[in-house]
């Protein structure tokens, strides 16, 4: 494995933030907060999304004694100042209207609720997950890998939300790294959610520092032709694509993407809505196929000494949380969550 050769954190470039604090060495680079989960008078059940899946992932990882309350990194909510690194003030002001949030989250009854409740019960969890992605970006550079148990809001761009995505956490994590971490000037997004990641694509359309690979069902939402121009490696799938074809394409194009451009960070959008039976994804990948897919992406990055940040993104079935947990455990078993020893220029054997 190649060494990690990134610069040190700059003392200060950009606005003040509480998201780039030091993390104790005892912690794994896995970011989560109980605040991620959306529980609000049962309204969350009106969207096909399992709005408590993030907590279930952590529960399973604790059951397996991989995580404890003491070794997980507690996510912090992204502040308005943090969000303004990417978002326009006009867009953030729009979120003060319950109608706008109801449209973005696809939960129509939110329209009838006072906005302070919508902020507290729906947007605060999404802002906390967004903070988690930004925090995990810094951790990935420090440790060689990091996972935000939430995040992956890849339909949101600087001035437009949609598809349950209210904040552009992928764009934010990359912009934070570019602005605040010396030696990080190129990023590759590998988006393997079943849907096209049109939010980050619109944000980075004119930015040559960011290489985007996107593998998605060509027939489903959002079908954003304008955003597709940002995709450097586009893999459009047909209805019902199964494991063998899918994994061959993922491996071929992951290797190709990282051979074409060597980035300073890989942001991996690991949506599980590719699972067979997902009501929105339209693909037919098995649980074992998802676990193998995540292993392929991590192996491609780790073998090259490139830090990788994983976010969990879409996944609309009740069994999704177990699959995500099993995949993280598999990454550990495969030795893909070893810490890079940056100072010595090779991997150490310490789990971190």
As annotated, the active-site residues are 155
DSSP state of 123: I
Residues ≥6 apart with Cβ < 8 Å to 207: none
Distance CA 143, CA 24 (A): 12
Dig out the tokens for 40 from the structure.
Answer: 């609000």
Residues ≥6 apart with Cβ < 8 Å to 257: 188, 190, 211, 213, 232, 233
Beta-sheet pairing, 73-74 with 30-32: parallel
Task: Name the phi and psi angles at 209, rounded to 5.
Answer: -75, -15
Are the C-beta atoms of residues 31 and 147 closer than 8 Å to each other? Answer: yes
CB-side exposure of 30: number of CA atoms within 13 Å?
Answer: 26
Distance CA 11, CA 195 (A): 38
């Amino acid at each position: 494995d190649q060494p990690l050769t990134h610069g040190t954190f700059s003392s200060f470039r950009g606005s003040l933030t509480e998201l780039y604090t030091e993390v104790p060495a005892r912690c794994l680079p896995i970011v989560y907060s109980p605040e991620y989960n959306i529980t609000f008078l049962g309204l969350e059940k009106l969207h096909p999304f399992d709005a408590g899946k993030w907590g279930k992932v952590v529960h399973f990882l604790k059951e397996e004694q991989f995580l404890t309350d003491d070794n997980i990194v507690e996510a912090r909510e992204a502040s308005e100042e943090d969000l303004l690194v990417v978002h326009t003030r006009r867009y953030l002001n729009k979120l003060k209207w319950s109608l706008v949030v109801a449209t973005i989250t696809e939960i129509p009854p939110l329209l009838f609720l006072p906005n302070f409740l919508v902020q507290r019960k729906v947007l605060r969890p999404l802002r906390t997950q967004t903070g988690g992605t930004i925090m995990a970006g810094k951790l990935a550079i420090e440790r060689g890998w990091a996972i935000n148990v939430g995040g992956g809001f890849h339909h949101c761009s600087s001035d437009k939300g949609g598809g349950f995505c209210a904040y552009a956490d992928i764009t934010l994590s990359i912009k934070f790294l570019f602005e605040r971490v010396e030696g990080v000037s190129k990023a590759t997004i590998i988006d393997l959610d079943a849907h096209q990641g049109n939010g980050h694509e619109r944000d980075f359309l004119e930015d040559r520092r960011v290489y985007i690979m996107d593998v998605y069902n060509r027939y489903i939402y959002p079908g954003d032709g304008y955003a597709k121009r940002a995709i450097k490696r586009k893999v459009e799938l047909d209805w019902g694509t199964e494991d063998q074809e899918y994994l061959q394409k993922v491996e071929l194009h992951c290797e190709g993407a990282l051979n074409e451009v060597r980035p300073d960070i890989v942001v991996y959008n690991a949506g599980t809505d590719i699972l067979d039976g997902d009501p929105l994804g339209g693909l037919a990948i098995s649980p074992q196929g998802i676990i193998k897919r995540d292993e392929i992406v991590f192996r491609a990055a780790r073998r090259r000494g490139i830090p990788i940040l994983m976010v969990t993104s879409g996944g609309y079935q009740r069994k999704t949380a177990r699959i995500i947990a099993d995949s993280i455990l598999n990454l550990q078993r495969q030795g893909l969550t070893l810490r890079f020893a940056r100072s010595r220029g090779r991997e150490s054997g310490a789990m971190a």
